[in-house]
Structure 1
Amino acid sequence: MLVLSRKKGESIIIQDHIEIKVLAVEGDTIKLGLVAPKHVDIFRKEIYLEIQEANRESASANPNGLAALLGQLKDIGTE
């Protein structure tokens, strides 16, 4: 892990396209501003982990669901 110190108003640049700027420091809270290309997804870690868990649950909930759905679509197409 790279650890950097920054003060209010200072930035970090990642690979020419992503800028992380310290906007404010208020007690234990730091406000960051992020500038990145639109195709880069940015999530708070707790939200990212929730999304990953929901994806795992969806993938394992009904492994035959897609096959059944495709079968229904095939039946509709032959009517």
Structure 2
Amino acid sequence: MLVLTRKIGETIIIGEHIEIKVIEAKGDQIKLGISAPKDVEIHRKEVYESIQNENRQAVNNTFSLEQLLGEKK
């Protein structure tokens, strides 16, 4: 893990197209601004993990055509 120290208004560049700027710092929280191409998904970690869990559950929940149509065997 790379650890950097930045002040308000300073930025970090990731690759050629992603820029992270420190917008504000209050107490133990900071506000970041992120500029990235539209095809780059940006999520808070807890949201990303929730999406991944839902995707895994969706893959594990397989149904037959009869189940989806509500038909009985």
Class of the TM-score when normalised by the shorter of the 2 chains:
0.7 to 0.9
2-side partners of 1:57 and 1:16: how far apart? 35
Return the alpha-carbon distance in structure 2 between the equivalents of residues 43 and 68 of structure 1.
34
Q: Unpaired segments of 5 or more residues in structure 1?
A: 73-79
Give the Cα–Cα distance (whole angstroms) in 2 for the partners of residues 16 and 51 of structure 1: 27
Two-structure CA RMSD over aligned residues (Å):
1.5
CA shift, 1:18, in A, is 0.1
- Percentage identity across aligned positions? 54
- Look up the match of 1:9: 9
Specify every segment of 5 or more residues in structure 2 that has no aligned partner in the other structure, as ranges. Answer: none
Higher helix share: 1
Structure-1 separation of matches of 2:65 and 2:5: 54
Q: TM-score, normalised by structure 2?
A: 0.86
Moved over 3 A (4+): none
TM score, norm. by length of structure 1: 0.79
The number of residues matched between the two structures is 67
Q: Does 1:50 align with 2:50?
A: yes
Aligned to 2:65: 68
Deviation at 1:68, TM superposition (A): 2.7
> Displacement of 1:49 after TM fit?
0.2
